Amino acid sequence: MQTTLSKHVINEGNTRELAAAIKANYNAFNEAAFIGEVASNLPNQELAARLKQVTLSLRNHLPDDYTRAVKIILKSLPPAKKMADLKGIDLAALDGFIMISITAYVSDYGLDEYEISMQALKVMTSRFSSEFAIRYFIKKYPNKTMQTFRKWLSDDCPHVRRLVSEGTRPRLPLNIALPDFKKDPAPVIGLLEKLKDDPELYVRRSVANNLNDISKDNPDIVTKLLAKWNKVKRPERKWMVKHALRTLEKQGNAAALRILGYSPALEIITEDFQITNKTVTFGEGLNMTLSISTPSAKAEAVVIDYLIYHMKASGKLSPKVFKWSKKTISKSKPLTLEKFHSIRPISTRKYYAGRHEVHIQIQVNGNIVAKGEFELIL
């Protein structure tokens, strides 16, 4: 799979492929006009606008009758993906990101045609997930959609089972939130209960991601649920629980740490913490050393993270948690650790010159046990 998502995953090439597939099933389709309409608008558009353009152009060149148009689209889809196909996905292929435009056709123009549209999204999700489009049906038909999802829990297709979990995420990235599920996640948890031991990791990962979303608004609900689930010691269940708790672990949530095997009551003594270079030039990095001990005679697990408070455009400092290490510590075996943290250009963060703080946080109990500062020079 491509590691960087580019606007060029929607391009004239896959527009032509889509047009040819539709033409094969709808002789009146004007390929040249469709391709020209999309291609003429691509150069100045970013990804979201490109996706919308394809959807709009489908509307302009397919029959006005929605039911007929959807039948043509379904006949024109590429083959369903098998589990083995999920490795090395070409996001610019016809079963790649352009499918978001196709599923958006259903949510944009078929919201009043529940049965036809839900069946279409069920078929489409095995090409490229319908998770974005289906959320509009959840919002308009919450009870009806949840009834449909309960039927889909036992579907033979793992793509459909995953759609139940992924589509109900309260905070699905790059899409509309589901505020009702933020407020009360009980309906979603009822679905996840049935999927937590799904035979496909693909589905279990989605369950974990959903619970991670829920934990941002309802941490107590998630930790109580996962404390119960964690009593099953199968590796698959343990992995899913750990993945679901990743945000709460970073936050130092005591209940989450207990589930993961870290003692919140463990006493940690900071013997030394040093930032060896107090001034850092952009493109270089921080060198840090930490020495800690404990009076505990028993070997205890510790998860060590550090927070960097980055300078924002407003002049305020905003924290970001980074992983350092997971170790065991005891009275006879204190820890001394070294860490290099690179400060370089990345697409998800803009750096500003000024004072930054480094907080080292020992995540056995969420306490910050050492602090330091550095100056960033751009």
Domain 269-377: state its class.
Answer: mainly beta
Over residues 211-253, the pLDDT tens digits come to: 999 999 999 999 999 999 999 989 999 999 999 999 999 888 9
Q: Please write the tens of the pLDDT for every residue from 90-126.
A: 899 999 999 999 999 999 999 999 999 999 999 999 9
Q: What is the dihedral of CA 295, 300, 301, 303, to 10 degrees?
A: -10
The DSSP annotation for 235-285 comes to: HHHHHHHHHHTHHHHHHT-HHHHHHTT--TT---EEEEEEES-SEEETTSE
Tell me the domain boundaries of the chain: 1-130, 145-261, 269-377
Q: 313 Cβ partners below 8 Å, 6+ apart?
A: 350, 352
Q: Is-contact 170 176, C-beta < 8 A? A: no
Lowest mean pLDDT among 74-78, 82-86, 320-324, 354-358: 354-358
pLDDT band at 363 (very low <50, low <70, confident <90, very high): low
Q: Which amino acid is at 173?
A: P
pTM: 0.88
What are the tens digits of pLDDT across the range 279-300?
888 899 999 999 999 999 999 9
Give pLDDT tens digits for 8-32. 999 999 999 999 999 999 999 999 9
* Concatenated DSSP letters of 122-191: HHHTTTS--TTTHHHHHHHSHHHHHHHHHHHTT-S-HHHHHHHHHHT-TT-TTS---HHHHH--HHHHHH
Fold of 145-261: 1.25.40
